[in-house]
Structure 1
Amino acid sequence: MKGWSGFIAGCRTAAVGRWAERLGIGLAAVAVLPPGLLFVVLLGYLALPVSRSALRGDDLRSLELTDRHGEVLRVVRSTPWGIAHWVELGEMGPYLPGFAVEVEDRRFYRHRGIDPVGLARAALANLRAGRVVAGGSTITQQLVRNLDPGGARTPTAKLSEALKAVRLELHADKRTILEAWLNRVPFGHGTWGVEAASRRYFGRSARELSPAQAAFLIAMARAPSGYDPYRRYARALGRQRVLLATLHRRGRLSGFEYEQALAETVRVARPRDRFFAPHFADMVLARGPGLVKSRESLRTALDLSLQRVCEDLLERQLDLLAGNRATNGALVVLDRRSGDVLALVGSRNWFDPDEGQVNACLSPRQTGSAVKPFVFALGFEADMNPATILPDLPTWFDEAGGRYRPVNFDREWRGPVPARTALASSHNIPAVRVLEAVGPDRLLGFLRAAGATTLKRPARHYGLALALGVGDMALLELTNAYRVLANLGEYGPVRLLADEELPEPLRLLSPEAAWLVTDILSDNHARAPGFGEFSCLDLPFPCAVKTGTSKDYRDNWAIGYTSDHVIGVWVGNFDGSPMRGVSGVSGAGPLFRDVMLAAQRAEPDRFEVPAGIVSMPVCPASGVRPGPHCPTAVSERFIRGREPRAECRVHRLVPFDRLSGRPVAEVVDSAGLDWQVVEQHPPEYRAWQENPGPLLPADDGGAVRAALPAVLFPDDGAVFKLDPDLTRQAQAVRLRAAVPDGAARSRTA
């Protein structure tokens, strides 16, 4: 130990002395072993195999998510320390490997892991400087250290590092070692390896680097924080200049290349982390960790340019709705044919610390009227057609849980309504009548087959109210269910990855039934009674669309499709609080229109008409063939073989007394009579025809005129359950009553 003490005393600084003292203690510990045993231990250690996966970089491959056009969405860290992209030595270009050897370990191809000459040179440099200015580590030793980034830096660790380097050289060739080092060397900012560094700092692959850029990277490798190009660019550039001179002097660069490298302005790319379409990327990564380890690049189905437009449109619409207490929204754009998710925005702002990372595309919400198209599709599968007349009257429906009386959104009744108008204008009572005929269990089965995973309760739990959207569905699942209609009855799952293989489509509806719904949802004239002729749903090309609003304006939806795209939009609040007067046509509808116009970069084709569709004239009041007294007829579409065969009996020629203007029950003398065409609907419409004012539901399922004051809401025996998450004030029950004509004030006993 005296020799070591003398060496320490000769050192100029305490830092070098302490390092030498620790190394001496480590060597002394090894020296106490018997030489023979020490030799056997060393041989056994050196003979141990080396992990080939570490040299291949199996543990150091970052996953790069790109959109369908190759634009990077996100780079997922392959290790806790940062991002790396493993490339073979031959893919690093003509400069990086040679520059690295020349600067970091000139004797790399002549030593066997440890370079005594390099160690001596480093020791001499440290003694002259009075501090540690050179380490003398070979590339092999640095690789050993990089394989354990969190390892200690003690002299004992350095000795272990040297032994591991020798062992590594015994089991791997120089090319493999150099490739591994270049792929594992740190470059700061969570970047490991020359490929990841090239992409981050220069926006290009390592094989595309110029000599000036390659020298800049190698300069950074010596001390990434000391030569950080964002904070210490001048220092890093100075180091690069020194390296360029060294490379020129040693013949690695010709005079022309050297002059060009000095003249080149090395521009470092702006620091930016690729983090686009975050909710969508989270969905892809949620498929499991094996996805990250199995591939280095994953091309998704997303269209980043469309995604950015959709994000901006959502933000703009929510700004307009700020006064209506609408704080959030979501939307999804699907390719109609393939199911590719072209855009997906799960919330207003993913970075919102409170609720931004909630993905509303996956969160179940009440669908409101957005589920009605499936009710009518199943009705068309049975014996109904678009001309079928449906009673829009106050009606009690008997269910297992009691009596149920739905009301329309505007609290009005329209009497006899064709199915086309009832669906297009979103009348509630006709929809419930259709579901009563079809059966809630059949609708529930269809929705589950179409991908709904959140409707887990039995049909009797939802009852007929399922037609009005009391069941919860996620936006992505509901939008994809609309693809069934757009694809003429065939269901297929959505696709997140561009090269994902999907199963064969499953037929859930006949092409004709699906097309009839499409025809109705794209009929602006049929939609006009409910939404007006010039609503936001009227687009300049064929587009089928339906809105929906849940109770108390908590959610509103707009979902629709062209021959190219299927788009779903949701607007609401994540905490479930109601908006103020925001319906599907005022909240989600305008956003749907904007997104559809953005997605349709060219005018879509018209919807394909199945061969089983025929057209024929019908009387709009009766929905059957026009009779001799029908004043008008309209062309309607039917499934072949299901055209109405009966003739209209609603329009009748009735005699009226010319003097009194009253109808004549029995004609004795035709003199003094005027014959007029009148509409005579079935008895259930009588009260509606006589008085289009307040009506009360009758026990027989029809309606009667209110002769005395009567409570319209709440119903007799109704039970209200309080929501513990809402205030009592927000859950106050509003009383509605019917008052006789001419009454200024009424009082009930």
Structure 2
Amino acid sequence: MLALKVTGVAFVLAFLALVIAVYVTRGQLPSFDELKSSPNGQMIRVLAADGTPIVSLGPSYGEWLTYDQIPQVMKDAMVSVEDRRFREHWGVDPVGVARSVQVRITEGHWKQGGSTITQQLARNIFLSSAKQFGRKFREGILALAMERKFTKDQVLELYLNKVYFGGGAYGIDAASRKFFGHGADHLTLSEAAIIAGLVKAPSHYSPTADAEAAVGRAGVVIGLMKETGKISPTEAAAADPKTVKLAPEPNQNSVRYFTDWALPQLENLIDEPNRPLEVWTTIDIKMQKAADDAIRNNAPGNAQGALISLDRDGAVRAMVGGKDYVTSNYNRSITALRQPGSSFKLFVYLAALEAGKRPGDPIVDEPITIEGWSPRNSSGRNAGQMDIRTAFAYSVNTVAAKLGQEVGFTTIADMARRFGISTPISTYPSMVLGSNDVRVIDMTRAFASVANKGVAVTPYGITKVTSMGETIYSHEVDRSHVLVAPYVAQEMTDLLQTAVNTGTGRAAQIGRPVAGKTGTTSSNKDGWFIGFSSGLTTGVWMGRDDAKVVPGLQGGTAPARAFAAFMKIATAGRPVEQFDTAVTLPEFQLENESDFGLPDNGGGSLVDPDGNPIPQDQIAPDDGIGGGDAGSPPSSEDDTPQTAPDGPPKTTDRIDKKWLDRVTGGDSSGGKRPPSRDHSQPVDRPRDVQPRPNQ
């Protein structure tokens, strides 16, 4: 008798404690409106420069539908499959709990949770999903408290708008838009059954993951709806989930190369792990599409391609890391290490100009040997005396080597590092022809800094980050880091525009001033073109991931054409900008373009990017000879020969009039032949070049 009394007292005390806990919890619960606005997780919306959404990461939410806006078939389907006694219990269903315990005893493990819709809502909002007794107890208390504070209709409204349906979709509207392409306010019976069936296992029953499993589960839901009297047998027979049309999965286009690069930077820019974020980026949708098309349409079929375009302040307007992001998300514009070939001569000539050389200074193209290394021109011969402008325009290798020896290979390496080359740089003589591995983004920023009159340009992809109307980060451009004097940048631009107008980069012409440089490595393994016009600097690389030969690939062919195809569209809305120096023609036209690569030297010996054999004692571990990126995936595609463009006019005693009109935009008819130059004197500099300081 005493034991019975003790048991009775304990039960009463436990009941009172439960009631107190429920009502204390009820008082601490957020209001209905607060629960409506609380997020289930951090959502990140990425916006283009003009505010156009380009991708959403994390949980996605649709429109909030009130109880009256939710189709009755959706409410009936969810109640039938998840909690058929929803209208009868107080938040915890004793019948469901008893059934769950019975299954636990007979099966030996928990198979049915017995959780009501209210309990699931409490778990989704306030608790974790760990299957522990303590969590289940707190879940029950919260469910009882929620049903004391909210009506059944409010609970169901919260549940249907906040439960997770897989694929990042929270709520029936987000799920409906993701899977069916329309809002949830006009769901059909079959569509509602598919959505209701997802709650049990969102990843397993997701239509995009396993359409057959989703349809099978929807059939179970329809059967339960008929069993509970929510639909008639006729309606159940008429419903056919197999006929439901699923919305196509959005293509993961090339913009994902950009977001994969930019978004990890958020960790260093902000400290906001919970609130939804809007990330405003620099990407230009029109330019990005043009970049994607330029790479796909111009890269050889057996090769890959990459493109980066920077605005004058470093804003990344377009980034393509390969032909197809879905096939390969390896970002060759950021990660791949490849030999730059003659595009590396930018740093050779920058060092020479800073040391006092001038574009019109005479120099002799002649055989040269430096520490056992003897570079040669692809024409197989030497042209003799010329000026520096001509040597650069036609990428004469012996002149680059001679300048490197004169200014010092360490000086050139320091210049490359100054302009943002972040990879190791050897100081062996062959480095002047681009034997060190580099990244596309580093080379592009270097050319952009020249275009920016010698002021450093740092690439960036995020302009600002906002959260619930508040700006929590805003990018500031640093324009204080001067790399070279303005006159050096001007004279380098002078050389670069000559290379496009009359030299190896003629295929990059776009009908407005362009300055740039080609690059080709040994056996045509890599092709580069990097240039700038109208405030945009664009770098293009093409080659195979396994660094095998791509016959016909040269910097002046496919890469230059891709550059032109992109830049014609990218600069179309920008005013034409003239460079500080006028175009000056080289003093004569060479018969062959020295930038065209030669085959590897026979016998398996190592060669520089232009085919010149390198002495064994000049090969360092970080020389990068051979060009590929060890981390890149292998390719099994067959090589496809490409056709080289026409060369410059094959004349050395006169300049073809039509060709002159094309490159200068003028009319040479009736004009006189330019007077011959006295090569013993420097060529006059255009009058609009800023004067050098006293030397």
Give the structure-1-normalised TM-score.
0.59
Residues 604 and 435 of structure 1, relative CA distance in 2, 3 Å threshold: farther
SS in 2 for 1:521: helix
In the other structure, the counterpart of 1:369 is: 342
**2 CA distance for matches of 1:571 and 1:598?**
20
- Report how far residue 578 of structure 1 moved: 2.9
Q: Does 1:298 align with 2:279?
A: yes
In the other structure, the counterpart of 1:539 is: 510
- Report how far residue 496 of structure 1 moved: 1.1
In the other structure, the counterpart of 1:144 is: 122
* Worse-superposed segment, 164-173 or 270-279: 164-173
Q: Does 1:463 align with 2:463?
A: no
Q: Report the count of equivalent residues.
A: 540
Counterpart AA for 2:559:
A
Matches within 5 A, 1:60-71: 60-71=41-52
Counterpart AA for 2:253:
F
- Report how far residue 602 of structure 1 moved: 3.9
Matches within 5 A, 1:46-61: 46=22, 47=24, 57=38, 60-61=41-42
Matches within 5 A, 1:268-283: 270-273=247-250, 275-277=252-254, 278-283=256-261
Q: Does 1:193 align with 2:171?
A: yes
Q: Does 1:475 align with 2:413?
A: no
In the other structure, the counterpart of 1:629 is: none
**2 CA distance for matches of 1:544 and 1:614?**
11
Choose from 362, 381, 384 the match for 1:389: 362
**2 CA distance for matches of 1:299 and 1:216?**
39
Residues 114 and 480 of structure 1, relative CA distance in 2, 3 Å threshold: farther
**1 CA distance for matches of 2:116 and 2:152?**
12
Choose from 503, 515, 537 the match for 2:490: 515
Unaligned 5+ segments in structure 1 are: 1-30, 106-111, 124-134, 248-265, 622-711, 727-749
Post-superposition Cα deviations, 1:727-749, rounded to whole Å, max 9, x if no partner, equal: xxxxxxxxxxxxxxxxxxxxxxx
Post-superposition Cα deviations, 1:583-607, rounded to whole Å, max 9, x if no partner, equal: 2113422222222223233464123
**2 CA distance for matches of 1:378 and 1:343?**
30
**1 CA distance for matches of 2:579 and 2:333?**
32
Post-superposition Cα deviations, 1:9-61, rounded to whole Å, max 9, x if no partner, equal: xxxxxxxxxxxxxxxxxxxxxx8993266347636865579798998645523
Residues 717 and 168 of structure 1, relative CA distance in 2, 3 Å threshold: closer
Q: Does 1:433 align with 2:433?
A: no
Counterpart AA for 1:485:
V
In the other structure, the counterpart of 2:460 is: 495
**1 CA distance for matches of 2:612 and 2:518?**
26
Higher strand share: 1
Choose from 556, 566, 579 the match for 2:550: 579
**2 CA distance for matches of 1:97 and 1:619?**
75
- Report how far residue 275 of structure 1 moved: 2.4
- Aligned residues of 1:329 and 1:572 also touching (Cα < 8 A): yes
Post-superposition Cα deviations, 1:564-588, rounded to whole Å, max 9, x if no partner, equal: 3211111112122233342211342
In the other structure, the counterpart of 1:596 is: 567
In the other structure, the counterpart of 2:417 is: 448
SS in 2 for 1:365: coil
- Aligned residues of 2:282 and 2:463 also touching (Cα < 8 A): yes
- Aligned residues of 1:186 and 1:221 also touching (Cα < 8 A): no
Q: Does 1:527 align with 2:502?
A: yes
Choose from 497, 503, 528 the match for 1:557: 528
- Aligned residues of 1:185 and 1:221 also touching (Cα < 8 A): no
SS in 2 for 1:286: helix
Residues 183 and 102 of structure 1, relative CA distance in 2, 3 Å threshold: closer
**2 CA distance for matches of 1:718 and 1:211?**
75
**1 CA distance for matches of 2:9 and 2:415?**
78
Post-superposition Cα deviations, 1:348-400, rounded to whole Å, max 9, x if no partner, equal: 33333xx6525343222111111222322332233221101112111123xxx
Residues 146 and 546 of structure 1, relative CA distance in 2, 3 Å threshold: same
Q: Does 1:166 align with 2:144?
A: yes
How much is the aligned-residue C-alpha RMSD, in angstroms?
5.3
Choose from 278, 283, 297 the match for 1:316: 297
**2 CA distance for matches of 1:487 and 1:165?**
63
Residues 65 and 715 of structure 1, relative CA distance in 2, 3 Å threshold: closer
- Report how far residue 178 of structure 1 moved: 7.3
In the other structure, the counterpart of 1:380 is: 353
**1 CA distance for matches of 2:501 and 2:382?**
17
Post-superposition Cα deviations, 1:283-342, rounded to whole Å, max 9, x if no partner, equal: 123336667755433232223343334333323323xx34xxx4222111222x232222
Counterpart AA for 2:556:
V
Counterpart AA for 1:551:
S
SS in 2 for 1:34: helix
Unaligned 5+ segments in structure 2 are: 1-6, 80-85, 98-112, 231-242, 465-473, 589-610, 628-695
In the other structure, the counterpart of 1:412 is: 381
Residues 558 and 228 of structure 1, relative CA distance in 2, 3 Å threshold: closer
Give the fraction of aligned pairs with identical amino acids, expressed as a percent: 23
Give the structure-2-normalised TM-score.
0.63
**2 CA distance for matches of 1:516 and 1:191?**
56
Post-superposition Cα deviations, 1:174-197, rounded to whole Å, max 9, x if no partner, equal: 999778635421345552224533
Residues 406 and 180 of structure 1, relative CA distance in 2, 3 Å threshold: farther
**1 CA distance for matches of 2:369 and 2:541?**
31
**2 CA distance for matches of 1:279 and 1:495?**
14
